[in-house]
Amino acid sequence: MRKGIILAGGYGTRLRPATSIISKHLLPIYDKPMIYYPLSTLMLANIREILIITTDRDVELFKNLIGNGSQWGLEIHYAIQNEPNGLAEAFIVGENFIKGYSSALILGDNIFYGHDFHLILENASKSKKGASVIAYRVKNPSEYGVIELSSDLKPIKVEEKPIKPASNYAITGLYFYNEDAVEYVKELKPSKRGELEITDLNNEYLKKNQLNVLIMKRGYAWLDAGTHESLINAGQFVHTIENRQGQKIACLEEIAFRKKWIDENSLLKSINNYLHTEYGEYISSLLDNNSV
């Protein structure tokens, strides 16, 4: 079994004043709160026990929106991280939650989309060996953690925002680790900026020849929503796909229903929460046996 962690902390300073009194992860990406998207990614990876790490300011807002996750067949917990000291610190904050378990860590502002992407997620989640990262080709790799690959697509080196990138493959904000992650993080030293870097954790696995790379090829999309521009771009992307196909991205009720984590009665309760909305109408359509 694998547990999931969503990093939804910080104060969204790049999105102020929109985030002056609310977490950016509660802002809408078209028709759903941002937090629905990383939740859906973990659900597609068949992960049902999830820890949301957020700030003391925002935790009650998350609880009011999501609760314990039982409406989607999930078990959701919360932890506080008021001072972001690097992505890898998530494993210190969530140590008691994931102790003895493999885990998946996803950044709360990352959005993934693509045909059969769930197969990549399921394969990564099933693996019990080392760590798996997902790489995506970008035109501006110096803005990301970059992974250099051999001719047979094996990892050679991982660098954080290199001035001269060795490749165009960025490591996305979704990581799968075995149960050793917590102990590895405890051995890390803070970087020059005083943070426990996720790149350093990935390099620990690489040194031990335990780092696996999964590549998102053409036809997949990886978006973040950390700036005003990327926020609106993500919303437009979701709107375009949903409007064209008539199918929702990151509809948690749909994922849970199709995985048989909830039954029709649970789905009906959700429908009642969204009466007279397009979202509610979409959930209602799931009860049609011909819906695909």
| Residue ranges of domains in the chain | 2-261, 264-292
What are the pLDDT digits (tens) for 25-40?
A: 999 999 999 999 999 9
CB atoms within 10 A of CB 227: 14
The CATH number that domain 2-261 falls under is 3.90.550.10
DSSP class per residue in 4-26: EEEE--S--GGGTTTTSSS-GGG
| DSSP strands (E only) in the chain | 2-7, 28-29, 32-33, 49-54, 75-80, 102-107, 110-114, 131-137, 145-149, 155-160, 169-177, 211-216, 220-224
Please state the pTM of the whole predicted model.
Answer: 0.95
Full pLDDT tens readout for the chain, 292 residues: 899 999 999 887 888 988 889 999 999 999 999 999 999 999 999 999 999 999 999 999 999 999 999 999 999 999 999 888 899 999 999 999 999 999 999 999 999 999 889 999 998 898 888 999 999 999 999 999 999 999 888 999 999 999 999 999 999 999 999 999 999 999 999 998 889 999 999 999 999 999 999 999 888 999 988 899 999 999 999 999 999 999 999 999 999 999 999 999 999 999 999 999 999 999 999 988 544 4
Give the pLDDT confidence of 48-81 residue by residue, as tens digits: 999 999 999 999 999 999 999 999 999 999 999 9
